[in-house]
A and B are shown apart, each in its own frame.
Chain A
């Protein structure tokens, strides 16, 4: 563990939990027309950009149409996945009782079928955030993202694998639930994942036919330009969402946890873990929208089902609470946070820690001979 946990006693953790519960309930009691108007405005913007992008790309042989169309379609896919899809599927708008904004029914413009995403993300990642061995968002099963993960020679490829994951991110997310690393390790067979593979195949098929066959075909001889524009839009979305998502939990200063540490964790303890394990991005209003407000990753992890456009307001109180309890509030601009993620990916390709800033810090956990984490001293979250 690179950074030691701040010391909080169980009573403090419970009081903090109650404060955050109170903030949560106060916000939920206030959701209404303002939030409904906001998400519908986002949807109108996304659908408008999508229609404009698709239309322009039908004339993709004209350079200005190709550039404009590709830009509009990229923005449409980013909005669809980040500010609309991700947030709607968290149940942030379930209270509206609108079937089109229902977390259980919403489907998004990406390769991953939404029901698989809801399981691996809403449940696995948000419940077990940053718990090594449980949160598969730590490296997506292919990257070494923590010193507490045992180094293997294939980790030398960490930067290469990360680059590939970034470029093909929608497929990486789609294969998340297939747990390829467990198939490779022989723990499970392909047949165990037949249903998931079939559903993924169907979704990938429909998405591919739309982007790479039908819309190009409608452009007649301009088909290659439409194809290239659609592919670029998907690629742009992949790179952007990879960057935002990897800045959520891996920049310098975020904590990881061992399974032992979170045993018998209370609601207060869960809140503390979310704050310690997440990092924010600073930027302007448009940046926050295009990041799906995942730039407010800390607030998102505390309140994953509160409409995300409220995170900016909530951050004022959350920051104050962090200060009062002596908890870190990790925030920085994209270039700085992503820079530290890139450094981590490169550093962890090697079996030893090459970051000199880490050596003088007291590790909260040490590695057993089998590479698993075990508490070195009494863990601060014990008994919570």
Chain B
């Protein structure tokens, strides 16, 4: 049977691809409107609101190229600042399965280029770039019968997505939602979560301030505090926990639950950045070959070759870009400019880059 020829299918056809070669159909569609691309996942900002002074909540409308996410996963979001596309990962707070709606809450980091930019400049109509959703921090396929959703600070977004998804599914088993933040003014989504709890008697909510005059009871994470948060009074019996937040919160929760009953995600700790001139210590990971080597002397190109690898190269002086390679993580210093960069998933010139800490390269 012949599939019906929709406009989308036509635009994706080999025929159109030949006509618009070599650039591809997206390079023409985006000139009409940037979010019209059919291969590149992008999203338009439809609304911007401020829940707290240090955060901004964006409602996005992803285009059809985006393949959605599972509650708890994170998404790479690209935003152009001064001509450069900066990519950061955010965990959506919205319900799983709503392909055309995505909600992100971005919390300001004092040094954060992207978070500060979005806080100051995010406007409806702006277009952001989306990557595929990633991450194993998701609800088990067989939903746990008693679940504690525990979060600290901006870690609320993935567990809120889980809560919203469970509620949307009509999940009727007890859920305890516990959120820790510095002060009551830092609580994200408190009205939304309380409204959900009001509609779903199986959900009980506790927002806890950990500092200042708001500092309330249950400030220390304990088995009793979590047990008390369940509405059914059955304590921690047969309970699972999903926790997202700073490492200390994870450790506290992990000490309460058996390992197979807790699933967790933390924020990546900031990488150690090195002063110009000094030699870093650490490990180079070559993800494609699976090789690794301790950081030594010389450029990343020389060090990769020293580890027995054969990356492409040309001029070896930073001119020809033949050795340009994807760095998936870690700080590197450009020896020509002295500039240090520790963005994830960026392309660097191996011949003029030296590691400034643990680095992972796609070689």
Q: A residues near B, CB below 8 A?
A: 21, 24-25, 28-29, 31-37, 43-44, 47-48, 51, 90-91, 94-100, 102-104, 107-109, 118-119, 122-124, 126-127, 203, 206-207, 209-210, 214-215, 267, 270, 304-305
Contacts and interface: CB of A to CB of B under 8 A. Distances in A.
Contacts of B80: 36, 96, 98
B84 A214 contact: no
A306 B320 CA distance: 12
Given A47-B31, A304-B319, A25 B336 contact: yes
Contacts of A94: 321, 324, 347
Interface stretch (B21-29, B138-146, B183-191): B21-29
Nearest to B349: A91
B83 A35 contact: yes
Interface string B306-330: 0000000011010111101000000
Given A91-B321, A107-B21, A122-B314, 16 more contacts: A32-B82, A34-B83, A43-B27, A47-B31, A96-B84, A98-B85, A103-B321, A104-B347, A109-B21, A109-B22, A109-B23, A123-B314, A123-B322, A124-B314, A126-B320, A206-B22
B324 A36 contact: no
B18 interface: yes
A28 B19 CA distance: 37
Contacts of A267: 317
A118 B21 contact: no
B101 interface: no
24 contacts: A24-B336, A28-B337, A29-B337, A31-B83, A32-B82, A32-B84, A33-B82, A43-B27, A44-B31, A47-B27, A91-B324, A96-B80, A96-B83, A96-B85, A97-B78, A97-B85, A100-B26, A107-B22, A118-B320, A123-B322, A127-B319, A127-B320, A207-B22, A210-B21
Contacts of A127: 314-315, 317, 319-320
B173 interface: no
A336 B85 CA distance: 43
A201 to B, nearest CB: 15
A97 B87 contact: yes
Contact of A97 (B23, B320, B321, B346): B346
The 7 nearest A-B residue pairs measured at CB: A123-B314, A36-B83, A91-B321, A107-B22, A122-B320, A127-B315, A123-B320
A32 B15 CA distance: 37
Contacts of B15: 214
Contacts of A103: 321, 324
A77 B322 CA distance: 25
B19 A214 contact: yes
Interface string B184-219: 000000000000000000000000000000000000
Contacts of B317: 127, 267, 270
Interface string B8-35: 0000000100110111001110010000
Nearest to B78: A97
Contacts of A109: 21-23
A122 B82 CA distance: 27
B315 A126 contact: yes
A362 B320 CA distance: 34
Contacts of B84: 32, 36, 95-97
Contacts of B321: 90-91, 94, 103-104, 118, 122, 305
A2 B13 CA distance: 56
Nearest to A92: B321
Interface string B212-231: 00000000000000000000
B319 A305 contact: yes
Contacts of B336: 21, 24-25
A104 B18 contact: no
A346 B346 CA distance: 49
A21 B321 CA distance: 17
Given A97-B346, A209-B18, A215-B19, A119 B314 contact: yes
A203 B40 CA distance: 23
B23 to A, nearest CB: 7
B31 A37 contact: no
Contacts of A102: 347
Nearest to B318: A305
